[in-house]
Amino acid sequence: MEEKQTIGWKEWVALPELGIPAIKAKIDTGARTSSLHTYQLERFTRQGKDLVRFDIHPLQKHSDISIACESEIIDMRIVKDSGGHEEERIFIRTPIQLNGNKWDIEISLTNRENMLFRMLLGRTGLISGSLLVDSAIHYAAGKDLAESYKIQK
């Protein structure tokens, strides 16, 4: 039996194919899907593929740091937020890195400007059966990724 890795209720993760070296994610086992803060979403087609271009402020309270991203759209779905409001969202698939592990996840794109976390990592984004979430701890995987921004967090 494979030993399970314990992570905290919030962790620094990376989304390397989107060019995001570090983003603080809330590990939300109450949420089915993962979501990412985005703004200036623009859908377009290139070589017959449905794509999305968007920007992200990966750090809360640092709107001076912006990353431009582009990804293929894998789906459009209705998502109900914690307040019961429904919103049609774009879904993309991209690798995530956490504590030396890398795996693909699906992420919905939405504006999380007024939320405490720029990213939620939901149940379907957790490695199936190999992670344990301990709600009493945070940053079990460390804060090394945060150093990539060279600012005080």
Q: Residue 128: what pLDDT?
A: 67
With contact defined as beta carbons under 8 Å apart, do 16 and 8 qualify? no
How would residue 153 be classed by pLDDT, with cut points 50, 70 and 90? very low
How would residue 91 be classed by pLDDT, with cut points 50, 70 and 90? very high
Mean pLDDT of 128-138: 85
Q: Residue 51: what pLDDT?
A: 97
Closest among 4, 15, 3 to 107, alpha carbons compared: 15
With contact defined as beta carbons under 8 Å apart, do 95 and 18 qualify? no
pLDDT at residue 130 is higher than 70 = yes
* Structural domains counted in the chain: 1
CA separation for the pair 119, 63 (Å, rounded)? 15
Closest among 109, 123, 33 to 71, alpha carbons compared: 109
φ/ψ (deg, to 5) at 75: -170, 165
| Residue 85 or 56, more confident | 56
- Over the chain, what is the mean pLDDT? 89
**Which DSSP state fits 33?**
S
Q: Residue 127: what pLDDT?
A: 78
Structure tokens at 63: 């709107």
CA separation for the pair 27, 34 (Å, rounded)? 9
| Residue 30 or 72, more confident | 72
Q: Is 12 a domain residue?
A: yes
| Residue 83 or 45, more confident | 45
Q: Is 151 a domain residue?
A: no
Q: Residue 147: what pLDDT?
A: 75
Domain range holding 33?
5-139
What CATH number is attached to the domain comprising 126?
2.40.70.10
Q: Is 37 a domain residue?
A: yes
Q: Is 106 a domain residue?
A: yes
Q: Residue 30: what pLDDT?
A: 87
